Chains A and B, each alone.
Chain A
């Protein structure tokens, strides 16, 4: 009996492994040609499943037709996406591709959520594959067996196509040297378009396969893609076969964990990723392609003297904010903006000045919230010690997460921080002290330092404002210190910085800890403002929001995070009634920022006024 259960978990593992393999294969194919980590891959997977559903519901086309038509349709949509959007990023840093496809994923998922809500639509198993066979040691549902076999065939066919055919030779050659292949008379831009279409068609194929097993939901790809990122980090993206094998292997490991230690089943892949990174920082295939270090923040900060302007403007803004309680503006709203501006500022320190895109800053923001809330509510600590506990915990967390991730650059760094953050999300989901979905509610508002009564909104406002000023000045000081200068030089040219004798990894590590600690500080303050600590703050969408605020405000600017937070938080407040349209809007802003104004609001303003803000 127990053996029976083991085999059925193993089968589930293989099925999940099939999806991991198909998705990471598509990611690898796309990365090879376009140098883009396709964050929208999960969304295309979801659309594949929806396409199968629509074909059934509106045209009466069943599973077998959908298995061919849905990938073709999604592939064509992918080709249009490449032509209209991704092509514009061809010569830019890999990170912009990640950001744009993240925005695209938000738009696509948001639109489907608006149309279908979050619950699932049923999709039947095709008649020919209903039922199952008893293999003696286990009962094998036919459809599940089919998924595993068919995925394997699709993966091998893809491998054959790329490694053994003429077309594949063009593809490999164009990956190495696109302009030479073009000079031979091959239409490389068309090949790039088709490759992207092919990659997302593989995702859609996985979506169709999964429709009868997991119901058809708008967010079905959103969490999956993060797991697939972890798979990609484990396997490395250098080899086609590597990503297929890693995909299946990781699925099996996950299945076995479900049998032997079910509590860890949602985190095991991330743990595996961490362990492998500790032993072999380049991933299993060891051919991890590092993004060439280049300046993500568009314009390097200008001459020293001009920095003063930014500080002066900051002073004016602070005075304005300090006078705010005299007006009738709702302070609660401004306090939230300040907290988000601070966490975005912390993130900005890392990307704008260190060139490191962390896609996991929610882990600091949310963790600090939980620790502070728990310390104040359960341990009965006064607010200042609660904040201290949250901040200290985040410093420790940043030290750990940084040790794992800092040796990788560019997109890998982004994927690893995202995966670590997602792992913590699952930990908090299950940990008893966080109350799971409910979160920690009604945080007591004691007197801070024994005198400041946080129950008084005005007092709380000034405490938060003081925290914001303190944090921002700390960031300003860091950027303008010798340490900050070295950081800038690393962002612009790491090999050169190394050749000058700097231990660049150490500098980046310290910057990461500093950034994580400050992000934690913002998270701790926010607990007193919103009166709860919940899963929302550790979710990947929060990490995305932090990235968006910074990008919109202006990477590498002192005032950008505040401007970005103002726009994003206000739009959330004012558009709350439109539900998921807010997600769509945020995704659209993401895309617009990457395509049209990479300097962000403050950056563009500074350019027009020819000053540094």
Chain B
């Protein structure tokens, strides 16, 4: 599958020399990577390496950023965040971002539909049956796993074909992690492109086609899934485990 995208598919996201700042502090120092359509790419790296910031910078949520973020051939570096979302990127933030003043249904229906061809609510309840049972509960009353399901589910409805997931397995029980892994696999089969940030190497290697290792706000190495077994030692040294 990895050989296939190199030649056949188009680039979904192209990040070039991306810099970003939190106030005065310079966090991203020229991130360079791309994601092909239908591919699952993981950003790996230590705490504070700039993985989450990269996602936020792609989404236009950083106060100050420079460089280039091309999405589907459109340069987004100067677009406001709401226009970027409309291009068809579904964002699932760190700590899931479920709204406590909204119930599950409202949370699910909140992100506006940006493209045709999104999952219907039936498809979603088929994928995440738990949500149907808790439709009128307050969003933050759900368990961590259910909240993660909800956070993923609500962006699948919008028709976005490009999904950005920030640590979807953080703080979840192993059985839930497996479930999320299966969900990502199903999404890939449906043709979604996925960019995710992970600290959980085992989980990442089971779902991703490619890995970008991030250190000090730069991509220092890129590995394919085929490389992983051969480079375990190298990966461990990157991640400090």
Say yes or no for B207: interface residue by CB 8 A criterion.
Answer: no
Interface contact A169-B102, CB-CB below 8 Å: yes
CB < 8 Å neighbour of A172 from B59, B83, B93, B101: B101
Bitwise, B101-140 to A at CB < 8 A (1) or not (0) is 1100010011110100000000000000000000000000
CA A169 – CA B99 in complex, angstroms? 10
CB < 8 Å neighbour of A185 from B86, B102, B106, B109: B86
Interface contact B93-A180, CB-CB below 8 Å: yes
Query: Could you say which residues of chain B place their CB within 8 Å of the CB of A173?
Result: 99, 101-102, 110
CB < 8 Å neighbour of A183 from B81, B100, B101, B102: B81
Query: Could you say which residues of chain B place their CB within 8 Å of the CB of A181?
Result: 110
Bitwise, A182-204 to B at CB < 8 A (1) or not (0) is 11111111000000000000000
Question: Given A180-B91, A182-B85, A183-B85 in contact, is the A166-B101 Cβ separation under 8 Å?
Answer: no
Query: Could you say which residues of chain A place their CB within 8 Å of the CB of B91?
Result: 180, 183-184
Interface contact B99-A177, CB-CB below 8 Å: yes
Say yes or no for A179: interface residue by CB 8 A criterion.
Answer: yes
- Closest chain A residue to B55, Cβ basis: A183
CA A170 – CA B112 in complex, angstroms? 10
Question: Given A169-B110, A173-B110 in contact, is the A187-B82 Cβ separation under 8 Å?
Answer: yes
CA A533 – CA B114 in complex, angstroms? 66
Query: Could you say which residues of chain B place their CB within 8 Å of the CB of A172?
Result: 99, 101-102
Interface residue range, chain B: 20 to 34
Interface contact A182-B114, CB-CB below 8 Å: no
Say yes or no for A223: interface residue by CB 8 A criterion.
Answer: no
Bitwise, A151-175 to B at CB < 8 A (1) or not (0) is 0000000000000001001101101
Say yes or no for A176: interface residue by CB 8 A criterion.
Answer: yes
Interface contact B61-A182, CB-CB below 8 Å: yes
CA A182 – CA B101 in complex, angstroms? 17
CA A121 – CA B101 in complex, angstroms? 44
Say yes or no for B168: interface residue by CB 8 A criterion.
Answer: no
CA A182 – CA B62 in complex, angstroms? 12
CA A169 – CA B154 in complex, angstroms? 14
Query: Could you say which residues of chain B place their CB within 8 Å of the CB of A184?
Result: 82, 85, 91, 110-112, 155, 158
- Give residues 344-359 of A contacting B (CB, 8 Å): none
Nearest-CB distance from B71 to chain A (Å)? 13
Interface contact B82-A180, CB-CB below 8 Å: no
CA A179 – CA B85 in complex, angstroms? 11
Interface contact A176-B100, CB-CB below 8 Å: yes
CB < 8 Å neighbour of A180 from B83, B97, B100, B158: B97
Say yes or no for B60: interface residue by CB 8 A criterion.
Answer: yes
Interface contact A179-B106, CB-CB below 8 Å: no
- Closest chain B residue to A185, Cβ basis: B85
CA A418 – CA B65 in complex, angstroms? 43
CA A172 – CA B139 in complex, angstroms? 13
CB < 8 Å neighbour of A182 from B82, B99, B109, B155: B82
A166, A169, A175, A189 — most chain B CB neighbours (10 Å): A169
CA A515 – CA B82 in complex, angstroms? 47
CA A163 – CA B102 in complex, angstroms? 9
Query: Could you say which residues of chain A place their CB within 8 Å of the CB of B100?
Result: 176
CB < 8 Å neighbour of A186 from B60, B102, B112: B112
Query: Could you say which residues of chain B place their CB within 8 Å of the CB of A166?
Result: 109
Interface residue range, chain A: 10 to 19
CA A354 – CA B91 in complex, angstroms? 41
Query: Could you say which residues of chain A place their CB within 8 Å of the CB of B12?
Result: none
CA A172 – CA B112 in complex, angstroms? 15
Query: Could you say which residues of chain A place their CB within 8 Å of the CB of B111?
Result: 184-185
CA A419 – CA B235 in complex, angstroms? 63
CB < 8 Å neighbour of B97 from A169, A170, A177, A187: A177
Say yes or no for B204: interface residue by CB 8 A criterion.
Answer: no
Query: Could you say which residues of chain A place their CB within 8 Å of the CB of B158?
Result: 184-185
Interface contact A185-B112, CB-CB below 8 Å: yes
Say yes or no for B84: interface residue by CB 8 A criterion.
Answer: yes
CA A186 – CA B101 in complex, angstroms? 18
Query: Could you say which residues of chain B place their CB within 8 Å of the CB of A170?
Result: 110
Query: Could you say which residues of chain B place their CB within 8 Å of the CB of A177?
Result: 97, 99
- Closest chain A residue to B114, Cβ basis: A185
A180, A181, A184 — most chain B CB neighbours (10 Å): A184
Nearest-CB distance from B34 to chain A (Å)? 21
Bitwise, A326-368 to B at CB < 8 A (1) or not (0) is 0000000000000000000000000000000000000000000
CA A169 – CA B109 in complex, angstroms? 9
CA A186 – CA B86 in complex, angstroms? 8
Nearest-CB distance from A472 to chain B (Å)? 36
Query: Could you say which residues of chain A place their CB within 8 Å of the CB of B82?
Result: 182-188
Question: Given A176-B99, A185-B111 in contact, is the A169-B106 Cβ separation under 8 Å?
Answer: yes
Query: Could you say which residues of chain A place their CB within 8 Å of the CB of B81?
Result: 179, 182-183
Nearest-CB distance from A190 to chain B (Å)? 8
CA A180 – CA B151 in complex, angstroms? 11
Interface contact A175-B101, CB-CB below 8 Å: yes
- Closest chain A residue to B62, Cβ basis: A179
- Give residues 157-176 of B contacting A (CB, 8 Å): 158
CA A182 – CA B89 in complex, angstroms? 12
Nearest-CB distance from B114 to chain A (Å)? 6
- Closest chain A residue to B100, Cβ basis: A176
CA A186 – CA B91 in complex, angstroms? 13
CA A76 – CA B106 in complex, angstroms? 29
Bitwise, B52-76 to A at CB < 8 A (1) or not (0) is 0000000111000000000000000
CA A173 – CA B98 in complex, angstroms? 9
Bitwise, A88-119 to B at CB < 8 A (1) or not (0) is 00000000000000000000000000000000
CA A173 – CA B102 in complex, angstroms? 7
Nearest-CB distance from B212 to chain A (Å)? 21
Query: Could you say which residues of chain A place their CB within 8 Å of the CB of B106?
Result: 169
Nearest-CB distance from B178 to chain A (Å)? 27
CA A187 – CA B84 in complex, angstroms? 11
Bitwise, B32-66 to A at CB < 8 A (1) or not (0) is 00000000000000000000000000011100000
- Closest chain B residue to A171, Cβ basis: B101
Query: Could you say which residues of chain A place their CB within 8 Å of the CB of B112?
Result: 184-186
Q: List 16 A-B contacts (CB under 8 A).
A: A169-B109, A173-B101, A176-B99, A177-B99, A179-B61, A180-B93, A181-B110, A182-B60, A182-B61, A182-B80, A182-B82, A183-B84, A184-B158, A185-B85, A185-B86, A186-B85
Q: Residues on A close to B: CB < 8 A?
A: 166, 169-170, 172-173, 175-177, 179-189
A-B complex: 7 closest residue pairs judged by Cβ atoms: A185-B85, A184-B111, A185-B86, A182-B81, A172-B101, A183-B91, A169-B106
If A183-B84, A184-B158 are given as contacts, then 14 extra A-B residue pairs at C-beta distance below 8 Å, sorted by A number, are A169-B102, A172-B102, A173-B99, A173-B102, A179-B61, A179-B81, A180-B91, A180-B93, A183-B85, A183-B91, A185-B84, A185-B85, A185-B86, A187-B82
